Amino acid sequence: MPNAFCAGILPFLAVVLIFLVSLLFQAIKIVQEYERGVIFRLGRLMGAKGPGLFFIIPIIDRMVKVDLRVVTLDIPSQEAITKDNVTVKVNAVAYFRVVDPCAAIVQVEDYRRATWQIAQTSLRSVLGQSELDELLAHRDRINHKLQRIIDEQTEPWGVKVSIVEVKDVELPPGMQRAMARQAEAEREKRAKIIHAEGEYQASKTLAEAAGIIAKEPAAIQLRYLQTLTEIAVEKNSTIIFPVPIEFLRSFGQMFAHLEESKSNG
């Protein structure tokens, strides 16, 4: 009889032992340094625990793990019309992290998907309020505006959006050709202005040189001789040297003095 009793009780004890061991394993929870465990007891929020080892009440408690690391969210290309009626396609990237694990689980069903949807709609909205020149030349303003708008909308969910960056801006082919023509015209304009300024400076210098020569008649002779010296460097050229009128006039005056001296003698 005792043997029969023992044979009947041993399987029951084995089942109880297995059940107790499984409950013990369910009660032991380990959460990593970058995670938190949100505890629900009979459906009621009890708070977040971790990191490390802790215990929960099996069957009564339920734990949901939340990752606190920064998440990289790719915002797909969005087609929008800017404030100055230009159709563009823009994609972006956002970086966010959970700062309140309880709110991220209780306040929204899927905080990752919700943040992704908010980022898309905010990107289209901001593009519609911005002009094309601002989008191309002042992208940091667009990034800051996007970050502020998305962060304000995700704050009740316990999500902090730290950075939003616009990556690529795709323009229609017609707009690209128009911008290329505009850039070419701007370069031609700068080239003409630089050329005109050079001509103006050269004319001022020539005017100053002419004023100096007018005051000193001998300066034109020196310049004349300097020009002949420069021409004489090329030995394969034939140089016709014209005699200046002033030079002949000096000879005429010398002959006149000689004639006067002979007549007086």
Domains of the chain listed by start with CATH number? 2-66 (no CATH), 71-175 (3.30.479.30), 216-264 (no CATH)
Please name the helix (run of DSSP H) or strand (run of DSSP E) that holds residue 163, with its range, or none: strand 159-170
**For residue 87, pLDDT beyond 90:** no
3-state SS assignment for residue 236: coil
18-32, 115-129, 214-228: lowest mean pLDDT where? Answer: 214-228
Hey, what are 209's tokens? 């040189």
Query: Across all residues in the chain, what is the average pLDDT?
Result: 79
pTM > 0.75: yes or no: no
Which of 93-97, 137-141, 205-209 reaches the highest mean pLDDT? 93-97
Residue 76 is predicted with a pLDDT of: 87
Closest residue by Cα to residue 154 from 205, 117, 191: 117
Residue 182 is predicted with a pLDDT of: 66
Phi, psi at 125, each rounded to 5°: -65, -45
